[in-house]
Structure formats: C-alpha cells, structure tokens
Structure 1
Amino acid sequence: MPNTSPELTCDVAIIGAGTAGLAAERNARRNGARTLLIDETFSGTTCASVGCMPSKLLIAAAHAAHAVRQASVFGIAAEPKIDGDAVMARVQRERDAFVAGVCDSLDKLPDGVKVQARAHFIDATTLRLDDGRTVTAKAIVIATGSYPNIPDTFDAVRDRVLTNETIFELPTLPGSVGVIGAGPIGLELAQALVRLGVETMVFDQSPGLAALKDEKVSAALHTILAKELPIHLEMKLKAEPDSDGVRLSWSGEQSGSRRFDYLLVATGRPPRLKDLGLETTGITLDDHGTPVFDRTTMQCGDAPIFIAGDADHDRTVLGEASAEGMIAGRNAASFPDVTPGPRMVPLAIMFTDPSVAVIGDITPDDQDGIVIGEASYEDQGRAKVMARNAGLIRFYAEAGTGRLTGATMAAPGVEHSAHLIAWAIQQGRTATDLLDMPFYHPTLEEGLKPALRAICKAVSAPVPADRDDGFTAGA
C-alpha cells in the first residue's frame, strides 16, 4: 500500500530506483534497515530502458545486415533488405520486455518501501518531496543516475536532436543521421545505423576515439571504423534548421556542410544532481558539483550520505553501479560503522565491431615502471578465417615482475577475452602465468599470446612452451 503520511521516517532512504539504487535498497534491507526507495517514475533502469539493452538490440540487427552484406567474401551472393519499421518494432518490443522484468522486481518490494516522488535535501538527514511530504532518515543514498547532455550549440534544432533516451522511440529508421560524439554511445549507435542503411557521419571536438588513452589503439580503431563511415575529429560545429531536418556545418582540418534528418547527440551523460539541494548537506562538492566520496565505502566525507552508480560519475557501467550500490546500502544501514568494500578491476567494453575493451587503472600515460606488449590481429589465424582480421591489443605490466596491470584492446572477440584478462589482473597474474594456461587452436584468444610473449621478453621472464599443434603463424 502507498505510504501517504506527511512525515516519513526510515533508517535508509535511497534516491533513485536504477541499478545502483535497487542494489543499495536491497542490501540496506538485508542488513536490517528500514528502507524507503524514492523515484519520480519507477520506469525501469537506464540499462533496460535507454542504455545497454535497446542499444544491443539495434546492434544485433546491424550485425545481421552486415553479415549478409559480407557473405560474398565467402562466395555467397546476398544483399540485405532492411525493413526499418520491423527493426525498430523488435527493438521496442524486446526493450519493453526487459523493462517489464525490472518493473516486476519493483512490484515485489515490501509494502511501503516505494515512494513515487522527487526529492531534495533539506539537510544531511532530511528530504523534502515534491508532494509536500518530508523524509527523515539515519542515512541517505544518492543514486539518481545521469542524463544526456545536449550542448547549447544545438538549441536551435532541438526538435531534430536525438539522444540515447529518444532514438529507440523512432517508429522507423531515419534516412540520415549526424552523430555528435565519438564516445562509446556515439560510435556504437553510428556503426549500427550505417550498417542498417542509414547515411551516417560522426563528429567530435576531441582528437581520439572513445576517450581511449592508448593512442596506438585509438588510431587502429579509427582506421577500421573509418572504412564504414566518415569520422571527423577536432571539429567545430554549427547547427541550423533546414526544412524538416537540420543542416550541420563543420570546420577544422577539414570543413563541410550537409543536411541530416536528425542529429544524435552523444556528448556525455552528467550526473543527475541538479536541484537535489546538496548545498544544504555540508558535504564537499568537486568543481563539477559532484560529491567528493570514498571509492571503497561510497561515503561522502563523514556525513550520513552515500553515493552510487552514474550519480558519482566514476565508473559508469552497470556492474560497477551494482557493486557501488551494494557497498553504499550496506554502509548506510550500519552507519556510523562504515567499512571498505572490495572493488573490481575496472573493465569497460564498447560494442562496436571490432569490440573495444579497457581494463585496469594503468595506461600508457604511466610509463614509469611498466612494459607494454602488443599484438596485431591483421594476421591472426582465426580472425583471417572469419574475414575479421583487423585490430590491435596492448597489455601493460610491471617492469620488474611481468604482473599484468591493464590492457587496451580493439579486436574481434575482445568483449569475451577481456573478461579473462580482467580476471587475471584481479588475481595478480603475470604474463608467464597466462601463457601457461590452455589456449585452444584455432581461436581468437590465441591472438593474445604475442602480446603476452612480448611482456615476458621485456622482463626476461620464462615463456612456457606452446600447447598447440605447432601452428603459430598469426597466433
């Protein structure tokens, strides 16, 4: 039954019913706390409704079209006939099923836990709701998520601007789209659209792709993706209405202008913290207005306030949101007794083709004390069989020991092999340790071996004998 009392009290109040908020509520309740979960809409998580799942549904359709188009490589003549209405209908149908699953779990919460309202802080332990009620809690978890950023540059054409929160609502595929932002969201959707027959171009003011710190991998990825769609980096943009579309002009090393049906603006997702009243809480905010917090406890300073998920703008992926919610919920329930929680090795994956993975905290920017092993997939055996032989992987390791510390990978199948590397890093494994593990032939995973061997050579570590049939060309 809904709780309509003008003054609500609980042990832990959670603002936001996304992945992080749900994990926080669940773990606070498991630890004996009386909880309230506050959300404006209870419309499902970002992942299910506008993020991970609908984007992968569109990408899956694009992969199918691309596979048909590429069939001639294998001597099979084919050309896809793309039904834009049907593509978007499936995206929406399956997306709605994922959202329904989340909503079913919300319906199973104990009576009185859900509070549908918008909240803002009065002080560190008190919230005012937009329906006039107040909530007093011993501790509060901020899990308000993020929102798509639309720069002022596009104010004049906002009626033709799409974001990841609106593109999946289109009834059919558009004829042309200019994608603003060469980050993971922009690149994933741009490649999917062009493979589905949509005229697509990508623009960004930055010099690299997907914010990759490894410039060599970024350059390799750029070369691969540019074969499918134009990518213009370090560009200044101007957008103006053009009949029933938008005219985008760009300038930089190159300049040009063309009309698009829509602009897909994917220029980041800032934390949803505006009008939350954080200035009343006494907690320290950074230059962007985000609470300063402890990554191991999710606590904001010494206050009874915790933060989790995209709201903290730290590791903005679903697995981390869930982990942060668990830590925040547990510590909020036990406040003032707060204990650090274990954090996973950072792992981020972009679902372009080839897929991209960034693992660990160590990058080429940290040159002191690390060695780098790299491997190209241009001559990799299994990739050549599949006509997908393109890409580059780079592993980082301690110079003295060969212990793996990170990796940047852009190659076929790395959405899978990245997990193996992340697990190895979290377990403190060396390159020698991994080479002493089984590698089946012929697989894409064999493409990891040259990079691992390079690290072994750089640190003068032993290289175990290959456990295959002796065929090593392009491994």
Structure 2
Amino acid sequence: MNRIKTDILVIGAGSGGLSVAAGASQMGADVTLLEGHEMGGDCLNFGCVPSKALIASGKAAHAQASSAPFGVTNVAPNVDYAAAKDHVHDVIAQIAPVDSQERFESLGVRVIREYGTFLSRTEVQAGDHVISARRIVIATGSSPLVPPIPGLEDVPFETNETIFELREKPGHLLIVGGGPIGIEMAQAHVRLGCKVTVIEGERAMGKDDPEAVKAVLDTLRDEGVEIAEGAMVARILGSAGAIEIETADGRSFVGSHLLMAVGRKPNIERLNLAAAGIETTPVGIRVDDGLRTTNRRIYAIGDVAGGMQFTHMAGYHAGVIIRSALFGLPSTIRTAHIPWATYTEPELSQVGMTDVQAREAHGDKLEIVRFDYAHNDRAIAERKTKGFIKVMVVRGRPVGATIVGHQAGELANLWSLALANKLKMSQIAAMVSPYPTIGEINKRAAGAYFSPRLFESDMVKRAVRFVQRWLP
C-alpha cells in the first residue's frame, strides 16, 4: 500500500474540486486530487456543456424554420441528429483540456484516478493509496435521481448521463420531470424534429416566478411540446420504441424514448462518511456556513453539500473554502447574489428573491419595478420582444431580479454584481449602455424605479419652476 501525506486532499474533479485544486496548488499547498470517473465532472461531460451545445443545434434548426420575419424564406431544416451529437462531443473535446489530468499535473497537483473511501477521520483510501491530509475537500457532486416507479426497471430510459450518447433521433421523446433539465431538453429536441411530451407531477419549473415561467412554457407549447402538469407518474410499461406512462389521475402517454429528469442525488455512497465522523442530511452532507462538515478538518462543496446545484455555485464554494483551508481565516457563504438561468428560448434567469419571496420578507417596504422587452430597440430589431424584467427593491436597493427573454442569463450578471456589493438603484441608473443593446433593459429597469419620483412628483416640478424663474 502506497502512503501519501498531503496538505489538501480533494475528492472529485468536477467544477468545485478542480477550482480548489488549482487555486491551492498555485498558492503553494501540496495538493492531491482523486477522480474515479471523468475529469471535469458532470458539468463538462453530462450537464452544462453538452446540454448547451445541443440547445445551440436546436436554435440553428429553429432559425431556418422561422426566418420569414427577417425577409428570408422559411425552410424545413434537414436535421442530422447524429451529427448534432458530434457537435456536442466536439464542444466537450475543445473544453476538456482545461480540466484534464495533464493540465492539473502541470500545475503541481498529484492526480490519482481512483474513487476515495474514508478509513478514518484523517485518512482516505484510493486504489492502492492511503492518503492522510491536513484538510480534505469533498466535491463528489451529484447524479441523476431515478425514483422507484413501478415498471421503470423493465423499460429502457435515458438520463442526462446517457442522452448525449444517443445517436438515433427519438420519434417521440417522453420526459418525466419539468425542471430546468427536462424543459431545456424538451425544446432542444422538438426543434431537432422530435415529438416531445413533458410529464410533471406538480408545476413545471416550480421554483421560478410563475409569470416568467408562463412565457417560457407558452413558447414551448407553441413550438409543439406537450406539457402535462399535475401528472404524477404511477406506472411505466412497454419496451424499446414503445413506452407507455400511466399517471395517478388516469392519463396515459405513449412514446418511443424516455428521459428521466426528476432531480439529483448526492454522490456519497462510496465515501464511507461514518468512518470520518461526517453527518448527512436527506439532500447531502451536513455543512455549516463555512462549508465545514461535522468533522472540522473536512469540507463539502458543490452539489454534495445539498444546496443550490449549479456549476457556478460549486466554483463560488471553492473560493470560500480556500481562504479558510489555506490561510485559516474565517470565511462563510452568502447566497443572496447567486443567479441561476434556464437556457430555453426565451431564457429565464433569477437573482436573489422572487417577488413572492420579497413580499413575504419585506411587506410594504417592497417596490417592484418592471420593463418589457417590447420597448427595447435592439429586441425589436432582433424580433426578440417577448419577455420582461422585474426588480424587487427595498429602500433603494435591489433584493432580487427576475428576467425572462432574450439573453436573460447575460442580463443576470449585473444584478448578481449589484446584490453581492449591495449597490443602490441610483448606481445602476448611472450606468451608460451602448445603444442599441439588450443590456439597456437593465438600465431602463433602474430608470423605471426613478421615473415616478422625478416625473410624478409635485415637489420636483415646483423646484424646477422655481429654478427656471430665477435662473439667469
């Protein structure tokens, strides 16, 4: 057995683990990184990267079929589904070197391609290595949750870990789960020529603002996606090419392929956490505000920590714990400024509180300002006028922003900056955007906050009249 002593042991080479390993090594720590599966983790191989690449293929096909408003005749796109998957894998291949074993070894990281299992509070076994570390970071991520639905074990199905390997275009794709993954894949596939049905037990995109969600779902339905809400799956029948889903309320859906997209589960089964004195919760590893587990020398970050399951959240976690693990300084997480986005068309993004959450938290102190895409000149030129932004404001400071429309994910950046730094609406209004850009929507939202204060105020009008009367 090969024994290794290291300063920082990182278990998992996904987004969070790689960020910790790179940062710690370049700051002078001795770092060991374990990965038993793919370098780059879920995001690179099965999640963010391939899904956005497939969405891009769908957009290209949709553009051909909907170009008439621009003076270009619509044509029926000739979709090569296997070639679209080649595009997906080419995108992964272009990004993969950044996350590769070779790159991290060049940064001084000791990379061991094995899964890790705790032997004690300070030791981890990985293959024929036993590693003891001053600090350990668990960054093992999450995997698709496959619920115990009667009949599912006898039916072929896809998850986000297999759908991007599928090269036969589904005739009729059934998607169980109406969250971001299910909805993104639904639009991508209907644009690539598949018939698509989404089956959701409650409300599709249930964590998002209902008004914004309606704009997204209306678009999907217009494009041909069937979305069945309040449809709890009771049983799944059939075989490859002929799959039937029965719901608790008696509905039945038949299709050729099945994608399960009902959520995620933390990857903790291999870790033997009890040996390390680490407690868990129903959604992951128990951590405090500094991301420490119940073993104070061990941290958990990203999806496995049971909070927001986003790649950028894992990266943020990495930055938080580097301060603590390397320098012994206090460092805690904040979540008020963490954005998320669903990359449908229109996109939907959220930063901070929704209007419902803000009303509950702030009551009469809350003001909500709004600006519609239909009044943005660039959106009009691009024919992307569907959507809006609404910003929740308390005492002149934004506490949340909901955006649905073209490039909503890009627009969210500014509001994350504002919430992270407690900026005022006056500072947003002072920004100058180039004309014409979609980004002007953010500035116009800030302007909507001040307009009634300037243009509907009798005091302002009296002051202007007084100054004009006496101004030389």
**TM-score, length-scaled by structure 1:** 0.86
- Equivalent residue for 1:471? none
**Which letter does structure 1 place at the counterpart of 2:244?**
R
Does structure 2 retain, via aligned residues, the 8 Å contact 1:217–1:394? no
**Which letter does structure 2 place at the counterpart of 1:318?**
T
Separation in 1 of the partners of 2:381 and 2:104?
46
Shift in CA distance, 390/251, structure 1 to aligned 2, threshold 3 Å: farther
Separation in 1 of the partners of 2:265 and 2:252?
29
Does structure 1 retain, via aligned residues, the 8 Å contact 2:155–2:237? no
- Equivalent residue for 1:139? 135
Q: Post-superposition shift, 1:186?
A: 1.2
- 1:220 pairs with 2:223: no
Matches within 5 A, 1:168-207: 168-207=164-203
Matches within 5 A, 1:87-166: 87-103=84-100, 104-110=102-108, 113-129=110-126, 131-153=127-149, 156=152, 159-166=155-162
**Which letter does structure 2 place at the counterpart of 1:373?**
V
- The one-character-per-residue Cα deviations of 1:377-416 (angstroms, maximum 9, x if unpaired) are 3454433332322123221111xx2211111111112122
Deviates more, 1:14-23 or 1:147-156: 147-156
**Which letter does structure 2 place at the counterpart of 1:320?**
M
Q: Post-superposition shift, 1:429?
A: 2.6
Does structure 1 retain, via aligned residues, the 8 Å contact 2:117–2:125? yes
Does the residue aligned with 1:348 lie in a helix, a strand or coil? strand
Does structure 1 retain, via aligned residues, the 8 Å contact 2:25–2:107? no
Does structure 2 retain, via aligned residues, the 8 Å contact 1:283–1:300? yes
Separation in 2 of the partners of 1:88 and 1:215?
33
Separation in 1 of the partners of 2:169 and 2:309?
28
- 1:414 pairs with 2:408: yes
- Equivalent residue for 1:326? 319
Separation in 2 of the partners of 1:110 and 1:461?
58
Does the residue aligned with 2:285 lie in a helix, a strand or coil? coil
- Equivalent residue for 1:311? 304
**Which letter does structure 1 place at the counterpart of 2:103?**
S
Shift in CA distance, 134/303, structure 1 to aligned 2, threshold 3 Å: same
- Equivalent residue for 1:298? 291
Does structure 2 retain, via aligned residues, the 8 Å contact 1:124–1:280? yes
- Equivalent residue for 2:61? 65
Does the residue aligned with 2:264 lie in a helix, a strand or coil? coil
Shift in CA distance, 27/433, structure 1 to aligned 2, threshold 3 Å: closer
Separation in 2 of the partners of 1:328 and 1:429?
25
- The one-character-per-residue Cα deviations of 1:111-152 (angstroms, maximum 9, x if unpaired) are 7x11222222233212233x3542222221101111111111
Separation in 2 of the partners of 1:243 and 1:425?
49
Task: Select which of 327, 331, 356 maps to 1:340.
Answer: 331
Q: Post-superposition shift, 1:342?
A: 7.1
Deviates more, 1:181-190 or 1:24-33: 24-33
Separation in 2 of the partners of 1:243 and 1:118?
33
- Equivalent residue for 1:473? none
- Equivalent residue for 2:385? 389
- Equivalent residue for 1:434? 428
Separation in 2 of the partners of 1:445 and 1:292?
37
- Equivalent residue for 2:265? 270
Task: Select which of 238, 246, 252 maps to 1:249.
Answer: 246
Separation in 1 of the partners of 2:418 and 2:347?
20
Task: Select which of 26, 46, 49 maps to 1:50.
Answer: 46
**Which letter does structure 1 place at the counterpart of 2:308?**
R
- Equivalent residue for 2:8? 12
- 1:23 pairs with 2:19: yes
- Equivalent residue for 2:281? 286
Shift in CA distance, 158/271, structure 1 to aligned 2, threshold 3 Å: farther
Does the residue aligned with 2:439 lie in a helix, a strand or coil? helix
**Which letter does structure 2 place at the counterpart of 1:355?**
E
Does structure 2 retain, via aligned residues, the 8 Å contact 1:24–1:327? no
Does the residue aligned with 2:286 lie in a helix, a strand or coil? coil
Separation in 2 of the partners of 1:283 and 1:220?
43
Matches within 5 A, 1:344-355: 345-355=337-347
**Which letter does structure 1 place at the counterpart of 2:339?**
L
**Which letter does structure 1 place at the counterpart of 2:261?**
A
Separation in 1 of the partners of 2:142 and 2:454?
45
Does structure 1 retain, via aligned residues, the 8 Å contact 2:397–2:423? yes
Q: Post-superposition shift, 1:187?
A: 1.1
Does structure 2 retain, via aligned residues, the 8 Å contact 1:405–1:425? yes
Q: Post-superposition shift, 1:441?
A: 3.8
Does structure 2 retain, via aligned residues, the 8 Å contact 1:32–1:333? no
Q: Post-superposition shift, 1:109?
A: 4.6
**Which letter does structure 2 place at the counterpart of 1:137?**
A
Aligned alpha-carbon RMSD (Å) = 2.7
Separation in 2 of the partners of 1:261 and 1:231?
17
**Which letter does structure 2 place at the counterpart of 1:348?**
W
Shift in CA distance, 94/287, structure 1 to aligned 2, threshold 3 Å: closer
Separation in 2 of the partners of 1:429 and 1:338?
26
Does structure 2 retain, via aligned residues, the 8 Å contact 1:141–1:332? no
Does the residue aligned with 1:444 lie in a helix, a strand or coil? coil
Q: Post-superposition shift, 1:196?
A: 0.7
